[in-house]
Amino acid sequence: MKSKLIVLITILSAVTLCIACNGNAETKNDNDEKDSIVQEEINPLDTFAYTDYNSVARILAGKYPDDSLFLVDVVNSSKFNYHISSFDNTWEDHSKELEKVTAWSNQYLENEDTVFYPFGGPDFNYLDAVFPNCKFTVLIGLEKGGKIPFSDSLSVAQYDKILDMVTHTIVTNVGFSFFRTKSMAVDLAGYLEGTLPIVMMFMSRHGFDVINVNHVFINDNGEFEYTNPDQVWAYTMDKDYQDAYEVIYKKPEEKEYRKLVYMSMDVSDDEINQQTFPLMMQNYFKNQTTFLKAASYLLDRAAFNIVKSYILDNSHKIISVPSGLQFRDVDSTWNVDLYGYYTGPIRLFYDRQQNDLKQAYKDGEPIEIDFLFDYYTGSPSLYVATKKED
């Protein structure tokens, strides 16, 4: 009897111990789950509910804003209705050209998601056409970042002039497939100030939502940093965007956010920051893609040797037109594919003939392209240089 009692006590003790262990395990699992929930970071962009950036972008692009109360007097005006119809008519034919560019890109380019676009100014239009999957890009131009229209009562009062300037700027870009610097300096100096409104407008036309915009700078480590961290999530468009800005954007169906940085900057040898700029290139564009279009042959000038060396040293792929990187600068360490047909420079750049490029087209097997590009209307030309594997 005594032995049976001992056995019973032993069994009960074992059961109690198992229950306790299981309880501890469940408690531990519960704690682990709670810890994982606490540790999981929520992207602030997912909870950022300020929509005025996107509303302005849509108005500039000739679309009604999602918020029916946003600038109701503007969107109900006859001027805005005219802006919509004018923009739609201009864009209808132009979008067909862009579709040709994107079709070429999908066939001949890889999934380029990080792109350096110096001398591009506010040309998000062709950036997205050539690189529809781009997630991060840096655009550089001489023009200031400017300000966002309709962010104050004065610009709202001048809405008709702002819409007229947008229409004029779009017709110019669409007609020439590039921005004319002198013309743009006039267009962006009045009621439509700086490059930011143009970038936002093109983003909306290409089907993107503009989520947030902030001023940035390159710090000593060559990284982009917010100038005013306290204003990053402020529900206001009244910020300083003059020198450089970052735009966060995405398509409505996308989960991943895209980022564009525009820098108002002179990258000539005398002006470029030789401490932070090369670090920026290494941080963001090492073994990435550089895009050169309508670059006015600046890289053929001695005054731009430094930025040219940064491009050649860091890029894995360079997509260029004749006015960008000169063909002679692409040495035997690159594989080159030619597209279109090279006939020489336009009259404005008559002294920039590239006989080696002409010979390469003659000796090679260039692939035809059927879209307008760069300064050429009858014989567009571009090449894709890919760094050879070591």
Q: Give per-residue pLDDT as tens, 122-146.
A: 999 999 999 999 999 999 999 999 9
The pLDDT, as a whole number, for residue 353 is 78
- Judgement on whether residues 378 and 253 belong to the same structural domain of the protein: no
Domain count, the chain: 2
Q: Which of 265, 299, 319 is the last residue of a domain?
A: 265
**261 and 351: one domain?**
no
Domain-located, residue 14: no
Closest CA to 370 of 90, 107, 91: 107
pLDDT at 113 over 60: yes
pLDDT grade for 11, boundaries at 50, 70 and 90: very low
User: 6: pLDDT confidence band, cut at 50, 70 and 90?
Assistant: very low
Domain boundary among 265, 290, 315: 265
362 and 226 together in one domain: no
Residue 301: pLDDT above 50?
Answer: yes
Q: What is the rounded distance in angstroms from the CA atom of residue 195 to the CA atom of residue 200?
A: 9
Last residue of a domain, one of 243, 265, 287: 265
Mean per-residue pLDDT of the chain: 86
CA-CA distance, 179 to 108, in Å (whole number)? 25
| Same-domain check for residues 260 and 153 | yes
Please check whether residues 72 and 212 belong to one and the same domain: yes
Whether 108 is covered by a domain: the verdict is no
At residue 154 the predicted structure's pLDDT band, cuts being 50, 70 and 90, is confident
340 and 249 housed in the same domain: no
Instruction: Please give the model's pTM, rounded to 2 decimal places.
Output: 0.86
Domain of residue 248 covers 50-92+113-265
Q: Are residues 135 and 77 in the same domain?
A: yes
- 83 and 226 in a single domain? The answer is yes
pLDDT digits (tens, 9 = 90+) for 323-368: 999 999 999 999 999 999 888 777 777 677 788 999 999 999 999 9
Domain-embedded: residue 40: no
- Residue 4 included in any domain: no
Question: Alpha-carbon torsion 29, 34, 39, 41, what sign?
Answer: positive
Whether residues 178 and 296 share a domain: the answer is no
| Claim to verify: residue 206 and residue 329 sit in the same structural domain | no
Mean pLDDT for the stretch of residues 66-75: 87
- Has residue 21 been placed in a domain? no
- Both 374 and 329 in a single domain? yes
Q: What is the mean pLDDT of residues 270-284?
A: 98
Q: What is the tens place of the pLDDT at every residue in 156-181?
A: 888 888 898 888 777 766 655 555 54
Looking at residue 259, what is its pLDDT? 99
Does residue 227 surpass a pLDDT of 60? yes
Higher pLDDT, 202 or 380: 202
- Any idea which of 30-34, 119-123, 124-128 has the lowest mean pLDDT? 30-34
Per-residue pLDDT, 96? 92
Contact 312, 329 (CB under 8 A): yes
Residue 194 located in a structural domain? yes
- Judge whether 105 lies within some domain: no
- Establish if 176 belongs to a structural domain: yes
Q: What is the mean pLDDT of residues 179-193?
A: 56
Residues 319 and 375 grouped into a single domain: yes
Is 14 a residue whose pLDDT tops 80? no
In this prediction, residue 90 carries a pLDDT of: 87
Residue 186, pLDDT score: 52
Q: State what percent of residues in the chain have pLDDT above 90.
A: 62
342 against 23, higher pLDDT? 342
Which pLDDT value is given to residue 16? 47
Has residue 87 got a pLDDT over 80?
Answer: yes
